Amino acid sequence: MLNVTNLKKAFKLPDGTSLPILHIPEFHLDAAEQAVLVGQSGGGKTTFLHCIAGITAPDSGKVEIDSIETTRLSEAGRDRVRAAKLGYVFQTFNLLSGFTALENVRLGMTFASGRHDLKRATDLLNRVGLGERLHHKPGALSVGQQQRVAVARALANRPKLLLTDEPTANIDPANQQTIIDLIRECCQAEGIALLMVTHSSEVAGQFDRVESLSDFNQVLETASAEA
Amino acid sequence: MNLLHIAFRNMQQRGLASALTMFSMSLGVALVVVVLSVSWVVTESFERNSNVGYHLIVGSKGGALQLALNTVYYLSQPIEVIPYEDYLELLPKEQRAAEIRRIGGRVAEPDRAGEYAGFTEGGFAIPLCLGDYLGPFRVVGTKPAFFEELRWGRSSENEYSFSSGRNFVDYSEENGFFEAVLGSLVAKEMGKKVGDTFKTTHGDPEGEGHGIAFKVVGILDSTGTPNDRAAFINIEGFYLLEGHERAYEDQAHPDELKEYVERDRADEAEPLPLEKRDLTAVLVKVGQPLFAIALQKRINKQLQTQAISPIKQITDMLGTFVRPVQLAFLGTTIVVCIVSAISILVSIYNSMNERKHDIAVMRALGARRDAVLMVVLLESLLIAIGGGLLGWLGGHALTLLAGPAVEARTGIQIGFLNTITQLEWYLVPGLIVLATLAGIIPAFVAYRTNVSQNLGS
């Protein structure tokens, strides 16, 4: 489902020097497989997800999603793959405040051509327990409910791969487990591969496959060696 | 859900700013509509009467435009007068002789044909006397032929008709020379109906009143011409009003050189004799249109009299005065619309910083750059077209409100639809172009929004 090979990314600093942030020689995720990625703060976890999603272009390397090498595609091509094959749950939910819960979910469908399935959007919100809140705007929802809407939105286009970036970081402990369970159950039910980034050892402990970014990020190893 | 829906939601989210920007655009468009409507009224008022149903106006030498304004539109002050004999020169032999004997008095060579009779054979000559008022409306002294011979409308296809009563006659047992016909607006504004009487005032609406009353015998149907705004009285009655007889003898044609003709209608009341009569103008329709220029040249060789083509005067006036003013107004209102479009640009551009996050989210959900560009452009279009529609409705509502006042002054009826001008069809594409231009800079900012930098913000 997901193959990452020799992925490199560095950021330019204001003084003109380059700061390497990622160097992933190999990373694989099978269809419907669920994995968690842990790592220290600032270690490049979000950048890694952005590179997979095609939001950020890597400096070099190869990303292949569902047998499509996205790193060879144009920006518009990557946008199309992102809309059709990827779901993304952000740490800060990133719901659009002017849109209702239902509209936020349907927004995800708008950009995947030909997908305007109102029933699926409604079903998804029912599944995440917000059937009574379809027409509420994010400001009228609790933090936990907002993240549920974000989960429903990420699943709207029946993606092959769901990327979640610290999905419980801004949620109270009582709701954290509910969200994690919800994401995992939904992915399992729809056969979606899941790559979850977290810094929580409690969350990581629930997954069969736990990957530490520092284990295969050669940048960090080099940085550590230099230190 | 589509891009238009997203644009609408964005607009809704910034409700007050969007509403104010839309209002500013609606003011601009309303101004354009009002100016176009006013232009239409002005042009219509001139063009509706440009085919006046006659070829020439014969009047005193002086301003040709003033003579046309006076005679066709009943505007401006009357110029000098011409002798009644000039009217007789336009009549064929029998008609001239009959007219002379009907009135009686001193006239040169009563038994010959009028000097220009050959030109008017198959046409007509109708005399007009102006100078009196009924309230604010012009009083026109003329002959019954005015309503019998003249036609109105763009192709002079319509006969004058009466909503009540009849045309006045030269003389009647009941009313003598003092019968009148009122234009539709005059009757309405002055509250007059058939059977009522009125007295005219001399020289201006506030002038001294004449002592003799005219009886209303007919009310004209509305024609949308200046005749709706005039009161028509029998020219014989007009001459008998105080101060309407010629004050000084025509030195060029002394009375002693003229022959005295006895009138043949001794049973009727006595009209003003020929040598004491003057006219403001004569409306002339020549037998063949080709004759008009030749007749005009002949008359213009005279010292005191001129003949003008009303159509030429109206066309010249439209081209020289009216059209440039219309263009200047239109130009000004277009600038107002451009300023409104710039306000759309400023409004959307200023909100781009707070929108970058939303744009980044849409991009992260798979929206292509051109999709977010379209969302911003559509928002600009929604504001411009929404404002434009409001302005269009508002502008026409305003002109509708002004309708009664415009009708009172011009005789032109204003409805909601009849003031829609051809130029208004360019409003929508014009607004689309303006809105696109206004939205293009913020849309480009949206296009260039860095997704990863703005996702977390």
pTM of this prediction exceeds 0.90: no
Domain ranges in chain B are: 3-45+317-455, 51-316
- The number of helices, as runs of H, and strands, as runs of E, in chain A is 9, 9
Q: Cα separation of B39 and B33, whole Å?
A: 10
Domains in chain A, number: 1
Q: Cα separation of A181 and A184, whole Å?
A: 5
pLDDT at B250: 72
What residues in A contact B455, CB-CB < 8 Å? 55, 90, 94
Tokens representing residue A125 in the block: 């919100």
In the predicted model, residues of chain A with pLDDT beneath 70 are 113-115, 216-227
* DSSP annotation string for B412-439: ----TTTT--GGGGGHHHHHHHHHHHHH
pLDDT at B457: 47
Which residues of A fall below an 8 Å CB-CB distance to B? 47, 50, 53, 55-56, 75-76, 79-80, 82-84, 86, 88, 90-92, 94-99, 103, 106-112, 116, 153, 157
Q: Cα separation of B73 and B181, whole Å?
A: 17
Reported ipTM: the value is: 0.85
Question: For B207-224, what is the HEC assignment?
Answer: CCEEEEEEEEEEEECCCC
- Per DSSP, B276 falls in state G
Structural domain harbouring A131? 2-226
Tokens representing residue B240 in the block: 């008998």
The DSSP bridge pattern shows strands A86-89 and A161-165 to be parallel
The DSSP bridge pattern shows strands B124-134 and B230-234 to be unpaired
Q: Which of B359, B361, B362, B365 is the best mutation test for A, with the most CBs of A within 10 A?
A: B365
Which CATH number fits the domain that encloses residue A164?
3.40.50.300
pLDDT, averaged in runs of 10, over chain B (457 residues): 87 87 87 83 71 88 88 82 92 93 89 91 94 92 94 83 95 93 93 94 75 93 87 95 82 78 82 92 92 92 90 83 82 83 84 84 88 90 89 89 76 69 78 84 86 73
Beta strand segments in A53-135, E:
60-65, 68-69, 86-89
pLDDT at B252: 72
Residue of B nearest to A118 (CA): B1
CB contact under 8 A, B2 and A110: yes
Sign of the torsion angle spanned by Cα atoms B316, B149, B134, B245: positive
pLDDT at B406: 75
pLDDT at B140: 96
What residues in B contact A56, CB-CB < 8 Å? 451-452
Q: Cα separation of B150 and B359, whole Å?
A: 71
Least CB–CB distance from B1: residue in A75, A90, A107: A107
